[in-house]
Structure formats: structure tokens, C-alpha cells
Structure 1
Amino acid sequence: MVQIRSRDFIQSISSALQYISYYHSPDFIKAMTLAYRNEESIPAKDAMLQILTNSQMSALGHRPICQDTGMVVVFIEVGMQVAWDSNQSIEEMVNQGVSQAYMNRDNPLRASMVSDPAGKRVNTKDNTPAITHVKIVQGNKVSVSIAAKGGGSENKAQFVILNPSESIVDWILEKIPQMGAGWCPPGVLGVGIGGSAEKAMLLAKEALMKPIDIQDLIKRGPNSRIEELRIELYDKINALGIGAQGYGGLTTVLDVKILDYPTHAASLPVAIIPNCAATRHVHFELDGEGEAKLIPPDLNLWPEESWSPKTNIKHIHLQKISREDLKDWKVGDLLLLSGKVLTARDAAHKKIATLLSLKEKLPVEFKDRFIYYVGPVDAIANEVTGPAGPTTANRMDHFLPMMYTLGMMGSIGKAERGDEAIHEIRKNNSVYLSAVGGAAYLVSKAITSAKIIAFPELGMEAIYEFEVENMPVMVSIDVRGESIHKDAPKIWKNKSIPLKEFL
């Protein structure tokens, strides 16, 4: 009988969450580098290099890859010959480890979990509770797969029960474009097939814990129907032309992972869950000999080149431009922003709407300002702010008429906007700029000052005023209503990844 001490288990959970907050796994680094090398779309290639540069910066600086440090999902297999030296339940130990990791003084992680989800939605302050799945198996070890799942990718999960005669591939190819770019492609798609409704979803989530190995599979050839499906979906999803960040390009998924399970003869449950470009997960085992030992990735894995501003980039000072100047900006233009921006996410927008409905004075003046949709990580040491990448912009779409009434000049976020939002942007002679999701630490280096100016009780969703210097963004919707997320995938659709991938 192997005895597992609670302190070893709790510390291993905590260490693993710290580890995945700033280390990408080697398989992801290799796959993203390969995709970057093969990419022919200039905006997508630039976005991938920002993601890779950010990844290396985070590994060196031990700061989060993404400002959304995720909700914790844990799959635990407990051997039947294991005894616990603990007076806590497994879930209680997991949550203690989560709390310890997210409140770490040297690398605090953003707490995003809220209680009373259908009501007051109060932040739990330490990112607990985790989503914990426990299985009892043969053996004398405890096996743990742990992930920190970002909200942008989790929100794009899809589920269906098909008729047994219907096509899994057709359904997935229909859903991927509908998911948009809020999940921060390129990433990994998890697919669960079979079982029941809840089993299919679990299979899709668990599949995301598997290593990226699609190139090895393509080279050796499939040995099963599931492996055939993986290759077919990988090829056909990438042929959709969505590309990195939805900018159009050759790579939308780095891999497709599939797990299946027997199901009822009348059913074909199918679930898909994407993992974003942060793709944070790690596996470890405990055998009674102490806490888990996690080995950092080799720093030589990243490409030698790193992101830097291109010669054709436009330098923009936000306090020195007029609405007339926005007419010169075109979709696809790369900009370096300097000056002051305001931040606001869902909760701040909702609070603004409430104050307006009560005819109360707003604490912030929005006239001629740009709003950055972001919820940053807390700063440490000499930082102005922690990692501060964009959140999904279309969650704020229904607030756009209100914000334009208040005089907002433009907005900054990630991924596409809906048709009504595009109409509002065009009607108000405004623009929408996008920053790269998955490059949060890189973006934070452009922020030279940060102060909370409204709603401090909202925590990371408070309104900040950032002063930025050379913050990289791209014009994603211009004053004419042209949208890169609508137009670019059409250009890149059905273009193949070049054969050099297989050399």
C-alpha cells in the first residue's frame, strides 16, 4: 500500500498550476513554430510570432502567458492500492492547491471564478473551486492531468446528438466557422464521440490533455477509424482558411484529438471543445516519494527570431488624432498605439448601463477615448501591470450603441464583431482594433502606467486608465465597415499547407 501525503498532493497541484501559467509544453512550441514557418498570410504570421515571442518571454520571466489564467480542470486517477495521509477530501485538497497557486506572491494568477453564477456573480478571490473529476483505477499511484482553461475557448464548446447515419465531420465543419476566433486559434480541438451527453463532453475535455502528434500520425498513416477522422478533420478545418486569430491563413488547428466511448444504438453524441493558444496543461504522477517534479522546457525550442515592429507599421498617438484621421486606417493596417486608453469588460459595461438607467453621474468621461477590453493580472515588483491581453470583443457588442452615445471613438479587443456591431462601427465612423490573444505578457510591456479610475470593487474588471507606448494592434474593422474576420477566411479557404511541413 502506497501512502500519499496531503501536503505532497496539495503542493504538486499548486506547483503544476504555477508551471503551466508560464510554460508552454514542448509539443505545443514545436507545433506552433512549424505552423509559423509554413504560414503565408502576413497578419496570421505576425500573430503567431507574437504568440511565440510572448511564450518565450513568459518562460523566462515566470509570468502568465495569458491574462486569463483560466479555470482549473483536473482529471485524477487514484490507484486502489493508494492510502491517503489526509483528513481532507480529494476536492478539498485540490482547491487548497488552487488557492495556494493563484495567490502566490511571486506570480499571482488572475482569479476569474465567480459564485452565484445566475445571480450576483461574486468573484471567489482565489479561483476556487476547481472542476475535479476522480476515477478509481488499479495500481498504487495517483495520476493527475491538470489544465487551466481560458474562458474564451471554453465558451466555444459545442454539443450535439446526431442521428447514427449523420456525418460527424460535416457537423464539426459547420460549427468551426460559427465559433469565430474568440477561442484564439491556432490551438487544439478536442472531440468526444459516444457515451451519453455528459460523457461526450468529458471525453472532449480529456482529449485536450493529450500531446500534439498529428504530424507523426500523418507520416506513419492511420491505424484506426479515429485516426482517420483526426487527419480528415485536421486537413478540412485548416482548409476553412480561418487562420491565426481569425485573420485568414493556413493553420487554424495545430491538432485534432479524439476520444470515443460506446453509446446507445439510437444515438451519436458528439462534443467539441477547443484549446486556445495558451494551451495550459501538464501531467504528473505521485507514488508516495514526495511531490511531483516538473521539468522546464528546453529554452532552445523557441525560434531564434522574435517579434518586433515592422517598417510598414503606423505610429499613432491616441490623444493627437481626430475622427477624421480614422478614415485613413484600412483593414489589415498594423498600428503601434501610444497615449491613454480606458479599459472596460462585461461587468464595467453593465455597471455603466445601470448608472445611466438611474440617471446617475458616470465616474469616467468616454468622449473621444478608445476602450480596451481587458482584465489584467495583478502587477508584481516593478511591473506597471501584469499580463494584459485582450478579451473577446463580441461580448461587448450589445453595449456599443450606449458607448457611442457617450462619445467613444473606438474599441480594442480580440476576435470578430457581429453584424449589428459592424453596423454601429460604420454608422459612427469608428474603428475596431484587435490585439493578439495569447500575447498578454508581450502587450503588458507596452503599458507604461496603469491606475484604477472607476469601480475598484470589480477587481480585474474595474476600469483602468492605461498609458501605452507602441502597443501593437491591427485594424480589424475600418470606418467603411470592412472586416478582416469576414473577408480574410474567404481568401484563404481551400489553400493547403505546403509540403515543406512534412520534410
Structure 2
Amino acid sequence: MNIQQNQVIESVANALQYISYYHSSDFIQAMTNAYEKETHKTAKNAIAQILINSKMAAIGQRPLCQDTGIVNVFVEVGMGVTWDAEMSLEEMINEGVKQAFTNADNPLRASIVADPLFSRTNTKDNTPAVIHMKIVKGNKLDFIVAAKGCGSENKAKFTVLQPDDNVADWIMKMIPTMGAGWCPPGVIGIGVGGTAEKAMLMAKESLMQPIDIQDIVQKSNPSNIEKLRLELMEKINNLGIGAQGLGGLTTVLDVKIKDYPAHAASQAVAMIPNCAATRHLHFSIDGSGVAKLPEVDINMYPELEIDYSQYRQIDLNSLTKSAMNDWKVGDTLLLTGTIITGRDAAHSRLKKMLDNGEGLPKGVDFNNKFIYYVGPVDAVGDEVIGPAGPTTATRMDKFTDMMLENTGILGMIGKAERGEATVQSIKKHKASYLIAVGGAAYLISKSIKKAKKIAFEEMGMEAIYEFEVKNMPVTVAVDSQGENIHQILIGSISPY
């Protein structure tokens, strides 16, 4: 059969929409198992939020995470395929990406910037995708379409070991250095052998496989690679990093390993994590029509509710620095009041304005407020805002002194750890750093009751918003005395 151009475009677009709001059943089962066995209260709460968020996203058909990712496509092209198309296969795939990310019913956040060395201009439709093609026997197309969030992608690691070096030792050395910015619990993908680029590609490909470590545990005669997977799974989880870096029993849900023959003098090793918003889908196109995607059983989700009785109500509009002195790391809070947002590019632009003596943009008042590190998805229908989960706060460390000294902010809200210099700055200014759960973006968005852009509107997701929130769930990660929850839980393993 001929493969028609529209079949590829529509299939790719449909797949990207699908994975934006549906977790795979193997992930939900693994997370449910992690929730049921978790004994650490704060980590259990984080896992609950991820599962509740997943069910809400599935029902509402809105993104699981505000970072809807850089699109990765693996496609095997049968040698017998014939075409009814004017576009190249790469052009078809990118047209599918464009249609998915600009879908009026469920617009996805455009995060891709062109001219990455200089202007870093947003392409507005999340193109181009990163595409890997392979020619194989057969007369069909086999696709894996994935959306990879940058919080996990930024934690990719690579090295070339000596042939007799221990791969497991290197991996265990690297895991703590990733901190919590990759939003665990998730999956670790490892590629060993080949060349540098082959090892990285295998690590990424391994993340596209189902979570099946529970089946390996039951095998009476596992292979050497399966034994290594089990060893690493146990060792990583025994580190106690846990959900969102908050401690607990589960840091990884599975460890995947792919290998390839290598030069006798080399052992290339790559490691890439996949976050709690793991998104990938496999499908085929044989010319008979647009790919049919799996049906989702909403009953696969556990019945969970957040226990708000353990949270402390905080009125942001009357909050003072002295009141924050009572907060301790690990405290769970429900925030109500006004917060201001800002991400990387907004901070950079604010710095230029302050350095030039221009002051803050008109209408932007940070005084006695928290800044939330977020780039939300655009709203649809009657939504106030789209999914609006936290971005990795570590990237804003270099701006923290500037913000605390020049804007009057009380503190910051994000995800993952802060560097030691930033923690000391927070302590000096008697501020606080709070974390929201990465992977709970749709759930968090429901606590945002009003939203308006107040500066840098032309910067898309980097614009500054003013949010009115009610009962936004957060955890104290760095208190005004400089106690740091991530340093306590991860820093004792490997300081960062």
C-alpha cells in the first residue's frame, strides 16, 4: 500500500496530543505500587499529587506537565514502502508536530528556540523535532513519538570509561549529582558501547521501552544485563533521594540498559533520566489509514485524594518575613493570595533593566510577594490558565541575590534543589524557598483563580504573570534559617 502524506501528519499530531495528557498504564501501575509501599509522608504526598494530576489530565485532556517537551521521533521505514506524498518524511513529521502544538482545543507549550547560540527565538510551534530514521525490511512505518521535558533532559550524563572500569560505579556516582531537577520517580536509561553518539542514542531509545522491572524480578535465570538492571534499581532506591528529592523509598521505577559492540580500547557510557511526566507512544502506519491509538481505561487510576488536613493555611497578602521564621523544612503549606511569575529569560531581562537603572517594568511589583518559576500552558475555554507546574529553580540561582536585594520578594517557588550560595543568600535575607510538585501541573493550575500577563508578553512562555491563587500546595525546601531539605536528603550523598 501507498503511505499517504496526511496519514503521517495526522498520526504524529494525534500521538503528541495523546501523550500530552495520557500516561501509559505501565507507568501508572508502577507509580501506584510506589505509592502503596511508601512510608515517608512528604514523598507519599508528592506521589499522590502526581497520580491525581495524571487522572485529572486524562479526564480533562490537558497536559500532564506545562513543559510539553522537545519532540523526539524514532521511525523505522520499511524498504517496501511506497509514497503518495509531496513532502519529505521529515517535513511530514514536523507538520504533525506543528498541528499538535497549535491545536486550538489543547494547545501545547511551544518551547523550542531557533538560533540557540544567539537570538534564541521561539519557533512558536515547537518545531523542529529531533528525528531518527532507520531503513528496515517490510512495507510499513513503525513510529515511536516522544515528548521529552527539559528538566530531565538537562540531567543527561556521558563519559568514556576504561574497558575494565565498572559501569555501575560510575552510574552510582552520577545519580546524586542529578539532584531532583529531573522530577523523580522516573526511569533511568543507559547506553553502553559503540561511540559517543551511539551510546547517547541507545540511552534515549531505552527510555521508550515499557516499565518491566517487576517481571525481571520474577525471572529464575536473568541475563547479565537484567542482573545489572536489578542491582542498579536497588542501589539507586537505597540512596533515599525519593520522590521530588524529598526522601522515601522510590527514586526510580525502572532502569533500562541497551548495549552495542565497542572498540576494544573504549567503553562509552551514557545515562538519561525520564521524569514523572514520561511520554512516549508506539504506533505503525501501513497505508490503510491514520494510526489507531490505544484506548485508555480511567479505572486504572487509584482512588486518591490529597489530605489537606496536614497542610498549613498561608495568607500571602498579609505574610511577613517574621511570620516565615516559624516555617521549617518539610512543612506543607497551602498558599492563598498574589504571586508573580518569572523564568530564565524574564530574570535576564530584569537584570538588564536594573543594571541600566531603568527599574522594574511598569506594573510589576514584587514587594512582599513570592516569585513562581513557571512557564504555563495557554488557557482554553473557561480556564484561567493552562497547566502551570514549576520549572527547575536551580537555573535561577545566579539571579537570586539580585532579586532578594532589589525587588523586595519574600521568597521563591519552584522545583528541585538550590546551590549552596543561593541557600546562604536566602538565609541572609530571611527569605524562603518553597517547592511545588513537578509533574502536577494540571492539578496546580486549578488553584490559580486569576491570571494576567503584566510584562514581557512578547516573550511567550517567558512572560511575567500575576496569579491569584487559592490553596496552592507547596513544601518548604529552604527555610529562613538556611536549612535545606535537599541538602539534608541528597547533599549528604554528594554535595552540589
Superposed displacement of residue 223, structure 1: 2.9
Structure 1 counterpart of 2:244: 245
Q: Counterpart in 1 of 2:412?
A: 411
Shift of 1:361: 3.0
Residue 378 (structure 1) aligns with: 378
Match in the other structure for 2:170: 171
Q: 1:226-237 to 2 correspondence within 5 Å?
A: 226-237=225-236
Supply the AA of the counterpart residue of 2:225: I
Deviations 1:449-485 (A, max 9, x none): 0000011111111000000000000001101111111
Deviation at 1:365, TM superposition (A): 2.2
2-structure distance, mates of 1:125, 1:490: 38
What residue number does 1:393 align with? 393
Equivalences for residues 214-229 of structure 1 within 5 A: 214-229=213-228
1:501 equivalent in structure 2: none
Matched, 1:96 2:95: yes
The letter for the 2-side match of 1:7 is N
Query: Considering only aligned residues, what root-mean-square deviation do their CA atoms show, in Å?
Result: 1.2
1:60 and 1:455 map into 2 onto residues whose CA distance is 33
Paired residues for 1:249-288 under 5 Å:
249-288=248-287
Does the CA-based 8 Å contact 2:319-2:368 persist in structure 1? no
Kindly report which structure 2 residues correspond to 1:431-442, keeping only aligned pairs within 5 A, or say none. 431-442=432-443
Alignment partners' CA distance in 1, 2:419 and 2:248: 21
| Alpha-carbon distance in structure 2 between the residues aligned to 1:221 and 1:62 | 41
Matched, 1:58 2:57: yes
Within a 5 Å distance, the mapping from 1:6-21 to structure 2 comes to 6-21=5-20
Q: Distance in 1 between matches of 2:464 and 2:119?
A: 19
433-442 or 482-491: bigger deviation: 482-491
Partner of 2:488: 487
Alignment deviations for residues 202-239 of structure 1 (CA, whole Å, 9 cap, x no partner): 00000000000001111114532111111111111111
Aligned partner of 1:478 in structure 2 is 479
What letter corresponds to residue 457 of structure 1 in structure 2?
E
Q: Does 1:109 align with 2:108?
A: yes
Equivalent residues of 1:425, 1:481 under 8 A apart: yes
1:308 to partner: Cα distance: 4.1
- Aligned mates of 1:304, 1:43 — CA distance in 2: 19
- Equivalent pairs counted in the alignment come to 491
In the alignment, is the contact (CA less than 8 A) between 1:23 and 1:296 conserved in 2? no
Amino acid at match of 2:6: R
CA distance in structure 2 between the aligned counterparts of 1:36 and 1:119, rounded to whole angstroms: 44
Structure-1 residue corresponding to 2:42: 43
Matches within 5 A, 1:336-351: 336-351=334-349
Contact 1:64–1:387 (8 Å) recurs in 2 = yes
Would you say the 8 A contact 1:31–1:212 is kept in 2? yes
- Kept in 1, the 8 Å contact 2:329–2:483? The answer is yes
Shift of residue 489, structure 1, vs aligned partner: 4.6
Q: How far off is 1:296 after superposition? A: 2.7
Which SS does the other structure have where 2:321 is aligned? Answer: coil
- Determine the structure 2 residue equivalent to 1:448: 449
Contact 1:241 1:491 (C-alpha < 8 Å) held by counterparts: no
Q: Is the 8 A contact 1:243 1:249 kept in 2?
A: yes
- For 1:100 and 1:430, how far apart are their aligned partners in 2? 43
Q: Deviations over 1:418-447 (max 9, x none)?
A: 101100000110110000000000000000
In 1: Cα distance, 2:493 partner to 2:263 partner? 39
- In the TM superposition, what whole-angstrom CA distance separates every residue of 1:4-42 from its partner, at most 9, and x where no partner exists? 111001100000000000000000000000001111111
Q: Deviations over 1:122-147 (max 9, x none)?
A: 00000000000000001111000010
Report the Cα distance in structure 2 between the residues aligned to 1:147 and 1:221, rounded to whole angstroms.
33
Whole-Å separation in 2 of the counterparts to 1:125 and 1:345: 17
Flag the 1:484–1:460 CA change in 2: closer, same or farther, 3 A.
Answer: same
- Name the aligned partner's letter for residue 254 of structure 1: L
Q: Gaps (5+ residues) in structure 2?
A: none
Unaligned runs of 5+ in 1: 494-503
SS of corresponding position for 2:146: strand
Q: What secondary structure sits across from 1:328 in the alignment?
A: coil
**What's the counterpart of residue 147 of structure 1?**
146
Q: 1:50 to 1:492 in 2, by over 3 A?
A: farther
Q: What is the CA–CA distance in structure 2 between the aligned matches of 1:174 and 1:354, rounded to whole Å?
A: 38
Are 1:248 and 1:491, in contact at CA under 8 Å, matched by a contact in 2?
no
**Superimposed CA distance per residue, residues 66-90 of structure 1 (whole angstroms, 9 cap, x where no aligned partner):** 0000000000000101112111111
Q: Does 1:367 align with 2:352?
A: no
Q: Which residue of 2 is the match for residue 294 of structure 1?
A: 293
Match of 1:324, SS state, is: helix
Match of 1:358 among 350, 356, 359: 356
Counterpart of 2:331 (choices 327, 333, 338) is 333
